[in-house]
Structure 1
């Protein structure tokens, strides 16, 4: 009797569904991969919301697109996931307190009216951050316990430009801690 195996492409379940890297191994893997720190804000049905993210990445210059992901475990995720527009704040080390505020569970991220205002278009924006970009959400994709958002850049403000005397050191999150990039960390 001759037996044949079905070709790989004829499997009924994708290979990634039958085996997966354990969650703790995956977390450990990405603890060693630093990410730039951003705070994303939007106007939700119950008022302004904010969260800290390290998943922001540029995708295209023409048109100007960026992406980021939202964990379903974040209290701000439902409002940001359904918002038509968002503001992505790109932080430097001088903005650490805003990063901490937006990442603290249960904190009222907009209690201090001196920290933020609204753009003419209505989105909440924090004062004094290195740079922010107002975006229109163009795509949403479910990805496990997260939602990936693609957004088209509409308007920006760069308060402290790279290379200028008042430029701050970029804020990076690595191995469960905040870090400041600077000349001391440059590899020549």
Structure 2
């Protein structure tokens, strides 16, 4: 039996070997938060949307995220060495879409303030982490970036995250659960 043919599971669904479309479909069933990585550059603020972001270590405080190899924004962010990770709130779907699009000035239509490291902190983000890039590792069609947290904070008046689940955005966890039940 080849690796791409379905393999019957005793009590579960049939399994098959991974390909890009199947991987995207199955992994899309894992809900993720959405974040925007930002930095100050010689030509002004830059940023990109990501949903591959996670905590790695508490001591020392480390996180990782994974920009695509074909990203034209990541090389500019990398040059800065210091970044901000803005965890988006439920009301920021348009912000996520803006930073995922290929537009020249993503910051023209949004509110932000510079963090202590100069990287833009997006207004109404659920939380912010100011970080220093520590290392990069090749990983298929993406790069794994390891960053040390230097400062962080949360928006005390906003509770709901922006959630990406099954290829769509949801305004918080309850909305994603309800949509899956429908």
Question: TM range, normalised to the smaller chain?
Answer: 0.7 to 0.9
2:3 alignment counterpart: none
Matches within 5 A, 1:153-172: 153-160=149-156, 166-172=157-163
Partners in 2 of 1:48 and 1:80 — Cα distance?
A: 9
Cα offset, 1:129, TM superposition: 1.3
Aligned length, in residue pairs: 161
Contact 2:129 / 2:149 at 8 angstroms: preserved in 1? yes
Higher gyration radius (CA): 1
Contact 1:36 / 1:170 at 8 angstroms: preserved in 2? yes
TM-score normalised by L of structure 1: 0.76
Q: Which runs of 5+ in 2 are unaligned?
A: 1-16
Does residue 1:126 correspond to 2:122, yes or no?
yes
Does residue 1:27 correspond to 2:24, yes or no?
yes
TM-score normalised by L of structure 2: 0.79
Cα offset, 1:103, TM superposition: 1.5
Contact 1:40 / 1:51 at 8 angstroms: preserved in 2? yes
Task: Identify which of 69, 72, 88 aligns with 2:69.
Answer: 72
Task: Identify which of 155, 158, 181 aligns with 2:172.
Answer: 181
Contact 2:38 / 2:46 at 8 angstroms: preserved in 1? yes
User: What SS does the corresponding residue of 1:70 show, helix, strand or coil?
Assistant: coil
Does residue 1:109 correspond to 2:100, yes or no?
no
Q: Which runs of 5+ in 1 are unaligned?
A: 1-19, 161-165
Does residue 1:60 correspond to 2:57, yes or no?
yes
1:100 alignment counterpart: 97
Partners in 1 of 2:117 and 2:19 — Cα distance?
A: 43
User: What SS does the corresponding residue of 1:94 show, helix, strand or coil?
Assistant: coil
Cα offset, 1:22, TM superposition: 2.2
Cα offset, 1:73, TM superposition: 2.4
Partners in 1 of 2:69 and 2:79 — Cα distance?
A: 12
1:84 alignment counterpart: 81
